[in-house]
Amino acid sequence: MANIISDETIEYVGILAKLELSDKEKEQAKKDMGSMLDYIDKLNELDTKGVEPMSHVFPVHNVFREDIVTNNDDRDNILKNAPEEKDGSFMVPKTVD
């Protein structure tokens, strides 16, 4: 494997992605990510110098809304699926400030 994924990298990506992996999962993730990156490195065979990165396939642009209020109070629906709620708000573990 050309791409060796370190413990630190897996730890770091876990923080970014908010995923907690067991030690066994971490080993697997290191292997999977390494071999995926090896595979993806195939792209380096391609000369893409001067090629504009293409995020949208079609030249659609300027899709806008007018500044008009269209939504009413929909709180009951918005909170319907909340795991925990209180006083019309979503309840979460205390955020440290």
Partner 1 sequence: MAKYETVIGLEVHVELATKTKIFCGCSTAFGGAPNTHTCPVCTGMPGSLPVLNKQVVEYAMAVGIATNCKITQNCKFDRKNYFYPDNPQNYQISQLYLPICRDGRVEIELEDGTKKTIGIHEIHMEEDAGKLIHDEWDDCSLVDFNRSGVPLIEIVSEPDMRSAEEVNAYLDKLRLIIQYLGASDCKLQEGSMRADVNLSVREVGSKEFGTRTEMKNLNSFKAIARAIAGERERQIDLIESGESVIQETRRWDDTKGYSYAMRSKEDAQDYRYFPEPDLVPIIISDEWLDEVKSRQPEFRYEKLERYKKEYEIPEYDAKIITESKHMADIFEDTVAICNKPKKVSNWLMVETMRLMKAHELEAEELSFSPENLAKLIELVDAGTINGNVAKEVFEKIFLDNIDPVDYVDKHGLKMDNDVDGLKVILEKIISDNPQSVEDYNNGKKKAIGFLVGQAMKETKGKANPGVINKMIQEMLDKN
Partner 2 sequence: MGLTELTAVGLGKKIKAGEVTVKQAVEAVFEQIEKTEKDVNAYVTVLDKETVLKRAEEVQADIDSRKLDSPLAGVPVAIKDNMCTEGILTTCSSKILGNFNPTFSSEAVINLENAGAVIVGKANMDEFAMGSTTETSAYGETKNPWNLGHVPGGSSGGSCAAVAAEECFFALGSDTGGSIRQPSSFCGVTGLKPTYGTVSRYGLIAYGSSLDQIGPVAKDVTDCASILEIIASHDKKDSTSVNRESYKFTDSLTDDVKGMKIGIPKDYFGDGLDHEVKEAVLAAADVLKEKGAVVEEFELGLVEYAIPAYYVIASAEASSNLARFDGVKYGYRTNDADGLHGMYKRTRSEGFGEEVKRRIMLGSFVLSSGYYDAYYLKALRTKALIKKEFDKAFSKYDVILGPASPTTAPKLGESLSDPIKMYLGDIYTISVNLAGLPGISLPCGTDSKGLPIGLQLIGDCFKENNIIRAAYSFEQSREYKRPEIVLG
Would you tell me which residues interact with partner 1 (CB under 8 A)? 12, 15-16, 18, 55-56, 60-71, 73-75, 78-79, 86-97
User: Is there binding between residue 82 and partner 2 (CB under 8 A)?
Assistant: yes
Q: Running DSSP on this structure, what letter comes out for residue 35?
A: H
- Positive/negative CA dihedral, 45, 50, 51, 53: positive
Residue 4 within binding range of partner 2, rule CB under 8 A: no
Report the alpha-carbon distance of residue 16 to residue 87 in Å, rounded: 31
Rounded Cα gap, residues 17 and 34, in angstroms: 17
**Binding site residues, partner 2, CB under 8 A:** 9-10, 12-14, 16-21, 25, 29, 32-33, 35-37, 39-46, 48, 51-58, 60, 63, 65, 74, 77-78, 80-84, 90, 92-96
